[in-house]
Amino acid sequence: MASVLVVEDDQFVRSALIRQLTEASYTVRSVGTALEALREVAHFRFDVVVLDLGLPDLDGSEALKMLRGLTDVPVIIATARDDEAEIVRLLHAGADDYLVKPFSVEHLTARMAAVLRRARAVSGEPAPPTELRVGGLAIDPLRRQAELDGVPLDLTRREFDLLAFLAGRPGVVVPRRELLAEVWQQAYGDDQTIDVHLSWLRRKLGETAARPRYLHTLRGVGVKLEPPREQQP
């Protein structure tokens, strides 16, 4: 799942973008000011930033310059300004693309996908697989569908996000702090939240904490997802 930082001070617009981008299988964090955005990119890795220009503490064009001093993450400008000279200036200043408000989430996600393809082509990073497979698990992040041994799994949104995130890192122990940041979009939280969702997910995978098959918890470290031993090469 690609991670996106939404920098937007309008709470209504921000909430709508968070909901719609999450439904489109993006991992979303959001802030309402330029300074918060700078703190976020300093502490978390994002695949793309959607940056509003009309921020309360700093104009978005200045925020763009400061972002470029910290990271080369692709930045899509979201603006109500349609002045061509301004748009050209922002592109020269380091923006990767722009959208003039109002825009649909379909338009935004199409632009995001194009920006991500260009970024991966430049870095030589392979495109993400359309389907994740771990043993008998098959997960389609785009369609938000998962199957176990050919049988569809009825997962909640958070259960799917957790499973897909772990499936993208098979055999890797993911720290709980990273799960909170990437799946729950929380810098801090209660480990019980993760434990409850893992318990629900295990039940649907036909396993228990005492007898795990796919989901393995390393006490005090994190969680990993790997194929059952009988399915490992």
How far is the C-alpha of 77 from the C-alpha of 57, rounded, in Å?
A: 17
Band (128; pLDDT cuts 50, 70, 90): low
Q: What is residue 198's three-state secondary structure? A: helix
Helices 11-23 and 105-123, packing angle to 10 deg: 60
User: Residue 189: pLDDT above 70?
Assistant: no
Q: What are phi and psi of 67, to 5 degrees?
A: -60, -40
pLDDT in tens, 83-96: 778 888 888 888 88
Tokens 């996000």 found at: 161
User: Residue 199: pLDDT above 90?
Assistant: yes
User: Residue 232: pLDDT above 60?
Assistant: no
Q: What is the pLDDT at residue 231?
A: 60
**109-123 average pLDDT score:** 78
Band (230; pLDDT cuts 50, 70, 90): low
How far is the C-alpha of 130 from the C-alpha of 147, rounded, in Å?
A: 14
Q: Which residue has the higher pLDDT, 230 or 227?
A: 227
**51-71 average pLDDT score:** 87
Closest residue by Cα to residue 4 from 64, 48, 60: 48
Closest residue by Cα to residue 221 from 194, 182, 186: 194
Half-sphere exposure of 153 (CA within 13 A, CB side): 26
Evaluate whether 27 touches 135 at the Cβ level (below 8 Å): no
Q: What are phi and psi of 228, to 5 degrees?
A: -55, 155
Q: How far is CA 67 from the centre of its chain?
A: 19
Q: What is the pLDDT at residue 129?
A: 55
pLDDT in tens, 14-59: 888 888 888 887 888 899 999 999 988 888 888 899 999 888 998 8
Tokens of 52: 């509003």
How far is the C-alpha of 202 from the C-alpha of 191, rounded, in Å?
A: 16
Percentage, residues of the chain above pLDDT 70: 90
Quote the pTM value: 0.57
Q: What is the pLDDT at residue 226?
A: 93
